[in-house]
Amino acid sequence: MLLFVFGGIAGAQAAPARTLLVLGDSLSAAHNIATEQGWVHLLEVRLSSMVPTWVVINASISGETSLSGRNRLPALLSKYRPAVVVIELGANDGLRGLPLETMRANLAAMIDAAQAANAKVLLLGIELPVNYGAPYRSGLQAIYTDLARQKRTALVPFLLEGVALDPALMQEDGLHPLAAGEPKVLDTVWAKLQPLLH
């Protein structure tokens, strides 16, 4: 497991740094592009000008499912004590056709754990390719919307909004953005993340 830790060291007179934890899969782990081109690193750059300082912990792992994320989260919360947790999981559950109710339970447990640790939560939703069928695709989408409402979390309904259907911004696999698409991904996240940073 690789953890990328970003952020400056606060000076002696500076306010204590706050921590933002990103728990995701390859969409947040800069799949097939340089780490510094991924949206999480671009977020760190954007946060670097904020006061107080934010430290970004990218605990994302390619291939991560909601279950493995659920299993890893408690230790991450204990170690880093984040003020904000960004959860970007579920895509691999969907691509593998795993039961939606299991995915829902795992995401709910992660939200509950983060909130119990006094962290604000941003849930990042994902959509599946059309060949997965309308019932399964819509069921997966509904999980994010329903959980955000029930758990009172911030929500980005579709992480790759404005990117996924643009061939100029997507890798050949049709699933992951090129470096050129990552700034737009960050802008999508930022719109819902920014209010949580104050």
Instruction: Determine whether 176 is an active site residue.
Output: yes
Instruction: Determine whether 78 is an active site residue.
Output: no
Residue in 26, 28, 60, 66 annotated catalytic: 26
Rounded to whole angstroms, the Cα distance separating 36 from 126 reads 22
Instruction: Determine whether 198 is an active site residue.
Output: no
Peptide bond into 52 cis (omega under 30): yes
DSSP 13: T
Rounded to whole angstroms, the Cα distance separating 49 from 60 reads 24
C-beta of residue 20 within 8 angstroms of C-beta of residue 54: yes
C-beta of residue 24 within 8 angstroms of C-beta of residue 124: yes
How many other C-beta atoms lie within 10 A of the C-beta of residue 6?
A: 19
Query: What letter represents residue 14's amino acid?
Result: A
Query: What letter represents residue 146's amino acid?
Result: D
Q: Indicate the SS3 state at residue 58.
A: strand
DSSP 14: S
Residue in 49, 78, 173, 198 annotated catalytic: 173
Q: Is 22 exposed, middle or buried (0-12, 13-18, 19+ CB in 10 A)?
A: buried
* Residue numbers annotated as active site: 26, 173, 176
